[in-house]
Structure 1
Amino acid sequence: MKNEIMKVLELVQEGELSNSEAAEILSALKEESEPALETSSYMSKSLKIIVDSDGDKVNVNLPLKLAKSLHSAIENIPAVQKHLAGVDMHLILEAIANNIEGPIVDIVSANDEKVKIVIE
């Protein structure tokens, strides 16, 4: 995109484009470079993380849009690391990318600790 901007500026300097024409072209270039927002109904669903461990109950509901954009931050939360050790977060992101619905992770340990990750 940098080359296209430079070319537009050169055309303005040479007098081949007016300022308003250049502004329209630059605006169009900017729109092309911005990623399209995902507006499907799937992205309006939630990633639900349910943990039942040692009497503690945790229910986290994240909109898929937020979960998709914050996945690296979520992985670094100590409570998540503790209860989701061994869970492949990239698998969950892959499920989101492929519009999978329903249970993604369903773990019951020998101590009856439960972890569920569901997209609904």
Structure 2
Amino acid sequence: MRGEITKVLELLQEGKINNEEAADILSALKEEVAPALEPKGYMSKSLKIKVDSEDGDKVNVNLPLKLVKSLHGAIENIPVIQKHLNGLDMNLILDAISNHVEGPIVDIDSADGEKVCIVIE
């Protein structure tokens, strides 16, 4: 990245780009590098899915975030999860992981007495 910054500064100095253009380019370069930096230890956390149904079903699933991210949403095909999370968009969970969200991300109390909670911790 240092080389790219140097090139932008050279272009600015030569008058080939103006200050605003240089700032935009540097900002874009910074955004490219930022996603690669993860908060320390974030991927060592777990995705926890807890379900309590009116029928007495109790589901507790704890999955490492590294596994969830590597499966790219295939988690929704696990039968016990599929039964209780029907209709839930797994892309929301993957987006939460990509954005390093922590804490509750889904909290449902349905009319039929089922409670579903998905947490990253």
TM-score between both structures, scaled by the size of structure 1: 0.64
Match of 1:83?
A: 84
Give unmatched runs, 5+ long, in structure 1. 1-35
Q: CA RMSD in A?
A: 1.8
Match of 1:97?
A: 98
Match of 2:13?
A: none
Question: Aligned residue pairs: how many?
Answer: 84
Structure 2 counterparts to residues 1-120 of structure 1, below 5 A:
40-53=40-53, 54-120=55-121
Note if contact 2:50-2:60 (Cα within 8 Å) is conserved in structure 1: yes
Equivalent residue of 2:73, what SS? helix
Please list the CA deviations of residues 36-70 of structure 1 after superposition, one character each: whole Å capped at 9, or x if unmatched.
8x783110110000011110111111110011112
* Distance in 2 (alpha carbons) for counterparts of 1:118 and 1:74: 15
Note if contact 2:51-2:116 (Cα within 8 Å) is conserved in structure 1: yes
* Distance in 1 (alpha carbons) for counterparts of 2:85 and 2:77: 11
Q: Which has the larger radius of gyration?
A: 1
Note if contact 2:73-2:91 (Cα within 8 Å) is conserved in structure 1: no
Give unmatched runs, 5+ long, in structure 2. 1-35
Please list the CA deviations of residues 53-109 of structure 1 after superposition, one character each: whole Å capped at 9, or x if unmatched.
110111111110011112433121222222111211001000000000010100011
Please list the CA deviations of residues 14-53 of structure 1 after superposition, one character each: whole Å capped at 9, or x if unmatched.
xxxxxxxxxxxxxxxxxxxxxx8x7831101100000111
Which amino acid in 2 is paired with 1:79?
V
Identity among equivalent pairs (%): 77
Which amino acid in 2 is paired with 1:48?
K
